[in-house]
Structure formats: C-alpha cells, structure tokens
Amino acid sequence: MSKENEEIEKLYDLWVNAKDEDDKYLIGWLYWNTSLFNPTLEGLSAYKAYRNLPKERRMEYALYSSNLFDIFFLLNDEQLDFIERTLPPYPYIGEMIWKNRNLSEEEINLLKERLPRNPIKARKLIKEKERILKKYGLTSEEYASILEKQKEDDWKDFRKIMILFYGTTAVEAYLATYNPWSAFFYLLTFPIPYQVLKYLSFKLPNKRIRNYIDKISLLYFAARSPLGLAISTVEFGFLTSLISKAIEKYWYSEKFPNVLRKSIYATQTFLSDLKTKEFDEREIREQLYNIRVDSLSIPQTSINRFKEEVDNGIIELEDPRKVLLHPWAISWFRRKVVAIPEGREIKIVDKQFVRKLAEKEGTFLDKMEMEIKKYPTKYLGFDLWNGRIVFTRDVIGVLPCYILDALAYKEGYIAILGKKADELFEKKTS
C-alpha cells in the first residue's frame, strides 16, 4: 500500500471512530481540502444549489457544474441530513447506498477504484463501473436526463467544428464550379445525413430507437470518414485529456505566462457558451445574503454570522477571470490565513485584513490585534494549514453569468458550513 493510501485509510478510520457527530463534522471540515472529504463538501453544496433552483432552471446549472455527482440523487432526506451533520468521507456515502443494494465486495471495490492516468485503462474502468451502476439501478432517471443533456450539448459543440470545416470546404467547391448543386451534393455525402441522424438520436422519444440510431451514426461516421473518426478519437479521447492535465500541472508555475492563463480561461468560457457580464460586487453580495438554508442541523447563529460578514464586507469576493485560481473553475470557496499560533502566542500574518476589521469595529489597529490574539475565533474561522491549526478568513469567487444565483448559493452554503465548524471548534476549545 502506498503512503498516500495509508494516510487516506487513517483519515477514514479517524472519522469512522469519532465518538459523536460533532467530532465527525469537525474532522470532515478540517480535512475538507483532501481527496477524501472534498468531493463530499463540493458534491453536497452543488446538489443543494441544484435543488434550490426552480425546476425549469436546474438543467442550466447542471450543464456547467463539475461537482453534481450522481450519488447524491440516490439519497433520501434522512441520508442527506446525516451527510450535512457529519461531512463523511466521500467513499462512505457510496457504501451507504451500495450495501443496501446488496452489491458484492468486489463490485463495491471496483466502484471505489480511482481512474488510472492511462486513458485506455480509464475508459475500460468507466465501462465496468457503468455496467455495475446499470445492473443495480444506481443511476436515477433525473441524473440520467442530465447526462443525456450534457451529451447533447457536447454534440452541439462538435457540430460547430463540423459546420466550420465542411462549410468552408463547401464554399471552396462552389467557387471552383460556380454550381450550388456541387456544394449541396458534397454536403449530402456526409455532414447533412450524419447531423440528421445525431439530431434524431437526441430528439426521438423512444430510448431504444435513439440508441439504435446513435450506433448507426457512429458506424456511418466510421465508414464515411474513418480518418476523421480516428483523429476525433485521438483528439477528444487522448489529446484533450493530456492537454488539460498539462495545463493544470503547470498553471501555478512562474514560467506559465499570465497572458496565456487569461487566454485559456477566456477561451474555455467562450466555447462553453457561458455568457458573462461585468463583475458587480453588490449584486453578488445580495445573492449571498439572500441564501435560504432550511436545516435543523445548521444553527441559525452560523447563518447569521455568514450574513453579517457578507453585509459588512468581511467575506472577500473574487472575480475568477482576474484571480485565475484554476483553469476551469467558475466558482470557489477558500480560506486565507490571517493568524498563526506560535507556542502560546498568536502571530498576525495578514495585517491588511486586521486593519479592515478595526475599521469595521471602529477601533485602532493595535487594539484589534490584541483582541484577535486573545479571542481569535471571535473574528476568524479556523483551518488546517501545513498540518497545523491556523485562523482564517473566507474568500468566495463567483463568475458573473446567468447562473450566478446557483454559483453564489453553492459557495455560500459551503461558507455557512464553515461557520458551523467555527462554532463547534470554539466550544471545544473554550
């Protein structure tokens, strides 16, 4: 077993063996940025944001959310409340469902297995997982409709590329002959029939017929343009994955030009049809302030503290297009370190934020520093940084676009969960 897997197993056991739900919750929050707990927090908040939207607008958000996981659509209200109260490791959520559906230990282990870096092996594992999910009915109809819509959206994106290529070629055919029929017959040899078949595969009501037409369109593509299919498979199956991983790997390198970062982010935003607008801090704060969380497991005091910090500007807002925290992120919640315990003392490392607090409280900077050193949790949250407890402030990044309300809800909900963790931590240490 690798060192990383050993650490994951220890963390898992630490949460399982915690004596009560509050301790479980604090463990989940302390390690919320690890691969074991982060999908739980991101998945839960994305699902809550999805459910908070009117039914007719949920698909808008689902098409752009990378954190809307299928497992949450299989949970009942009691299970969701349990997750909200305890923030369990993400694999534990799957086990809650899989054991109730009588999956074998081998099948459970396969579903828990992480995708390998090799794209061929990854695709094989995905197929195996899909087979098990289908066998036990572990994909809800609602989530299946989201996958279908995402697939249709991908086809529309690919269609734009085909229109550009074949449209240009058809114009060249017309200019060579000055006969519109030559251009039309050229288009009739492949792109028009293929696009008609793809359209039918998405629009016909009978699913079996749609799947049948989908297979025919793939065979037609292979027969009419085997080279095009091979190139598409390489580009979309291998190169795009490799390019994405390379971008993510070097994104934070000093050698990665900021101009290139902005270009990549702007390009992917444009290609996704996610129409953006000017960053209006007042509008975003209003969206955050008006978040409604009806839950018995989240204290009203946590919600009130969140609203107060949003209202008085203590929670910092970021424009993803300027901060460029991640190449693909359109929203996020994070915490920045303000103070670090050093023995019995507390060292302030973010005086600019403390100055902001002093202005809000109407006091002097040195007095505010002394107050924070005495009672850090009165003004700050807590987090785990480099293996030690530190005191932090909240930062929320939201891309201003037509799903702004959903993005604000998702990140605001995480911040509220953080406020609950802060309260629990303060009670444990007081």
In a shared domain, residues 328 and 379 = yes
* pLDDT tens digit sequence for 372-419: 998 888 889 999 888 889 999 999 999 999 999 999 999 999 999 999
In a shared domain, residues 89 and 159 = no
Which domain, by its residues, includes 170? 143-271
**Domain-located, residue 383:** yes
Domain's final residue, options 77, 101, 125 = 101
**Domain-located, residue 297:** yes
In a shared domain, residues 95 and 210 = no
370 or 150: whose pLDDT is higher?
Answer: 370
**Domain-located, residue 136:** no
* Count of structural domains within the chain: 3
In a shared domain, residues 377 and 311 = yes
**Domain-located, residue 134:** no
**Domain-located, residue 164:** yes
Q: How many angstroms separate the CA atoms of 210 and 364, rounded?
A: 69
* pLDDT tens digit sequence for 30-52: 999 899 999 999 999 999 999 99
In a shared domain, residues 262 and 336 = no
Domain's final residue, options 271, 296, 315 = 271
Lowest mean pLDDT among 3-17, 144-158, 303-317, 374-388: 144-158
Query: Residue 185 corresponds to which amino acid?
Result: F
* pLDDT tens digit sequence for 216-244: 766 756 565 555 555 555 445 555 566 67
Residue 2, phi then psi, degrees to nearest 5? -70, 165
Q: How many angstroms separate the CA atoms of 280 and 320, rounded?
A: 13
Domain's final residue, options 68, 101, 134 = 101
In a shared domain, residues 250 and 179 = yes
CB within 8 Å of 20: residues ≥ 6 apart? none
Residue 362, phi then psi, degrees to nearest 5? 70, 40
Per residue, the 3-state secondary structure of 332-397, as one string, reads EEEEEEEEEEECCEEEECCHHHHHHHHHHHCCCHHHHHHHHHHCHHHHCEEEEECCEEEEEEEEEE
**Domain-located, residue 331:** yes
Does the structure show a pLDDT above 60 at 146? Answer: yes
List the one residue out of 103, 115, 32, 53 whose CA is nearest residue 74: 103
pLDDT value of position 1: 55
In a shared domain, residues 184 and 254 = yes
* pLDDT tens digit sequence for 190-215: 677 777 777 777 777 777 777 777 77
Burial of 174 per CB tally in 10 Å (0-12, 13-18, 19+)? middle
In a shared domain, residues 285 and 266 = no
Helices (H) and strands (E) in the chain, counts: 22, 5
In a shared domain, residues 413 and 293 = yes
**Domain-located, residue 294:** yes
Report the percentage of the chain scoring pLDDT > 90.
47
**Domain-located, residue 348:** yes
In a shared domain, residues 417 and 336 = yes
In a shared domain, residues 206 and 247 = yes
In a shared domain, residues 170 and 232 = yes
pLDDT value of position 224: 58
Does the structure show a pLDDT above 50 at 285? Answer: yes
